[in-house]
């Protein structure tokens, strides 16, 4: 594998030192070209050095990672986001299938993130998940946001409103679309429950997540039955009944 030219943008010196040392010891394919402590320094360094990948802290003083990325008309580099736990940040990153690391850094996850970028470079992938992430941040309507689905031979970008429901298939998830097609993705239903819960999707059963905008009819019962716009009938688990009905309280 060829060497990756990298830049580190992180406001905390201790975090920069840790990542710098980890990269030197565990990621020999990465050559660190420089470091920056804020958005403006990071922008200047990226323009000057033209890196293959930027390790980018999300929360920084005087602007965040998204403010930095928005300065570029076109993203010609890969991004590995670095963040402390943030529900909002993780949902946005997972929706766009962005590459990220949680603080405190895990060495195995760092190696995996670097290998993911390296593989993408080898395949000359042209669509950047970071671009999808920025596009989503600019869209106010939740259902018009996009999600990146990892596929065996690449990935597919879909709009959330086109997903009717999601179905568990062992450790895979089948996503059913308004046009009658479906995609099988190597992610668990639990993963999509966490990613989609704030985008008008709700888990109604151990095996099903539905788009609330696709609900056509609800019939009472111990749990009840939900009919979707495409005619699909799904059982509502009694333990999830209250949470579902709450979404429709006027």
Q: Which CATH number fits domain 4-135: 3.40.50.2300, 3.20.20.150, 3.60.40.10, 1.10.630.10?
A: 3.40.50.2300
Whether the domain at 4-135 and the domain at 140-246 fall into the same CATH topology: no
What is the percent of the chain where pLDDT is above 90? 67
Does the N-terminal peptide bond of residue 22 adopt cis geometry, omega within 30 degrees of 0? no
pLDDT band at 145 (very low <50, low <70, confident <90, very high): very high
Q: Tell me the torsion sign for CA atoms 118, 96, 56, 109.
A: negative
Residues 6+ away with beta carbon under 8 Å from 158 = 146, 147, 149, 175, 177, 183
Model pTM?
0.79
- Specify the CATH class of 140-246 in words: mainly beta
H helices present in the chain, as ranges: 13-26, 39-49, 65-69, 87-95, 107-123, 129-138, 189-196, 241-246
Question: Which DSSP letter does residue 53 get?
Answer: E
**pLDDT at residue 128, as a whole number:** 64
Could you read off the pLDDT of 55-69 as tens digits, one per residue?
Answer: 999 888 788 888 999
d(CA 20, CA 225): 54
SS3 172: strand
In the predicted structure, residue 250 carries a pLDDT above the cut 60: no
Residue 151: predicted pLDDT: 78
The string of pLDDT tens digits covering residues 87-113 is: 667 888 888 888 889 999 999 999 999
d(Cα 159, Cα 144) in Å, to the nearest integer? 6
Residue ranges per domain, the chain?
A: 4-135, 140-246
226, 215 contact by CB (below 8 A): yes
What does the pLDDT look like over 72-92, one tens digit per residue? 988 889 999 998 866 667 888
Q: How many CB atoms lie within 10 A of CB 161?
A: 17
Residue range 196-225: mean pLDDT, rounded = 95
- At 123, is the pLDDT very low, low, confident or very high (cuts 50, 70, 90)? very low
Q: Report the alpha-carbon distance of residue 248 to residue 227 in Å, rounded.
A: 15
Tell which wins on pLDDT, 138 or 180: 180
Please tell me which residue, 222 or 210, carries the higher pLDDT value. 210
């Amino acid at each position: 594998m060829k060497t990756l030219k990298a830049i580190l943008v992180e406001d905390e010196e201790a975090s920069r030192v840790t990542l710098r040392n980890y990269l030197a010891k565990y990621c020999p394919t990465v050559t660190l070209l420089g470091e920056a402590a804020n958005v403006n320094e990071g922008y200047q360094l990226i323009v000057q050095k033209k890196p293959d990948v930027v390790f980018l802290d999300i929360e920084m003083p005087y602007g965040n990672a998204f403010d930095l990325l928005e300065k570029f008309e076109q993203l010609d580099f890969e991004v590995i986001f670095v963040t402390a736990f943030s529900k909002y940040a993780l949902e946005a990153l997972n929706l766009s299938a962005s590459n990220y690391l949680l603080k405190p850094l895990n060495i195995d996850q760092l190696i995996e993130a670097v290998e993911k970028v390296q593989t993408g470079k080898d395949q000359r992938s042209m669509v950047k998940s970071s671009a999808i992430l920025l596009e989503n941040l600019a869209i106010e309507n939740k259902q018009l946001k996009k999600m990146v689905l990892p596929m065996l031979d690449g990935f597919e970008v879909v709009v959330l409103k086109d997903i009717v429901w999601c179905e568990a298939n062992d450790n895979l998830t089948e996503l059913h679309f308004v046009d009658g097609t479906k995609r099988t993705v190597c992610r668990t239903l639990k993963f999509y429950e966490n990613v989609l819960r704030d985008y008008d999707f709700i888990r109604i059963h151990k095996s099903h997540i539905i788009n609330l905008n696709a609900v056509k009819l609800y019939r009472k019962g111990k749990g009840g039955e939900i009919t979707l716009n495409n005619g699909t009938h799904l059982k509502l688990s009694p333990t999830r009944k209250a949470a579902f009905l709450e979404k429709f309280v006027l």
